[in-house]
Amino acid sequence: MDTPQGQPGRHAVLHLTNQPGQVQQAESAVVQSLEALHYPKASVFAVRLALHEAIANAFRHGHRNLPPTTPVLVEFDCSPSRVEIIVADQGPGFDPHSVPDPTAEENLERGSGRGLLLIRSYMAEVEFTAPGNRLRMVYARPASA
């Protein structure tokens, strides 16, 4: 893990391959940083879920036609008031506006397509950089927490 600046573990750049252990390691690193900053349980839940969905989408969709050893970049920066996460894959990208609304009646029983909805629901800022293979998201700590 690279910790180029700030307190150890609160800012890190990771290069993950598609193995459960590596994805779990990234999630644990962020969770530990949030717990060290005394984020409430609900915040830790939200950030972990959004991170998990972002990494899962990167491998499942972005890297669908790439070798499984192709790394996804995950960068996070945790401060007492916000958490910024970047997840970048090496795939061709996608148009985030083209994803069908999974909450529409006709899509409710579809087996997939909810990851982006969850990310948008929990995160204060969500933006994709063209061509859509780099996601930047920010979690804002609730004022009362």
Partner 1 sequence: MSSQEPRIRVKRADGVIHVEFVDRNILDEGNIQAIGEQIAALVDAEQTPKMLLSFANVEHLSSAALGQLITINNKIRARQGQLRLANIDPQIKEVFHITKLSKLFQIHDSTADAVGSFA
Considering the complex, state which of residue 8 and residue 60 has its C-beta at the smaller distance from partner 1: 60
For the beta carbon of residue 117, count every other beta carbon within 10 angstroms.
14
Q: Does 56 bind partner 1 (CB under 8 A)?
A: yes
CB of 51 to partner 1, least distance (A): 11
Q: Does 28 bind partner 1 (CB under 8 A)?
A: no
Asked whether 104 and 115 are in contact (CB, 8 A), the reply is no
Task: Give dist(CA 89, CA 100) in Å, integer.
Answer: 21
Q: Does 89 bind partner 1 (CB under 8 A)?
A: no
Asked whether 128 and 96 are in contact (CB, 8 A), the reply is yes
CB of 26 to partner 1, least distance (A): 12
Q: Does 124 bind partner 1 (CB under 8 A)?
A: no
The amino acid present at 98, given as its one-letter code, is: S
Name which position in 112, 127, 131, 145 contacts partner 1 (CB under 8 A): 112
CA-based max dimension of the chain? 47
Considering the complex, state which of residue 13 and residue 117 has its C-beta at the smaller distance from partner 1: 117
Q: Cα torsion for 2, 25, 17, 89, to the nearest 10°?
A: -70
Task: Give dist(CA 113, CA 79) in Å, integer.
Answer: 30
Name which position in 110, 124, 140, 142 contacts partner 1 (CB under 8 A): 110
Sheet harboring 72-78: ordered strands across?
Answer: 11-16, 72-78, 82-88, 134-140, 125-129
Q: Which stretch binds partner 1 (CB under 8 A): 4-12, 23-31, 81-89, 133-141?
A: 23-31
Q: Does 126 bind partner 1 (CB under 8 A)?
A: no
Binding site for partner 1 (CB under 8 A): 20, 23-24, 27, 41-42, 45-46, 48-49, 52-53, 56, 102-103, 108-112, 114-115, 117-118, 121
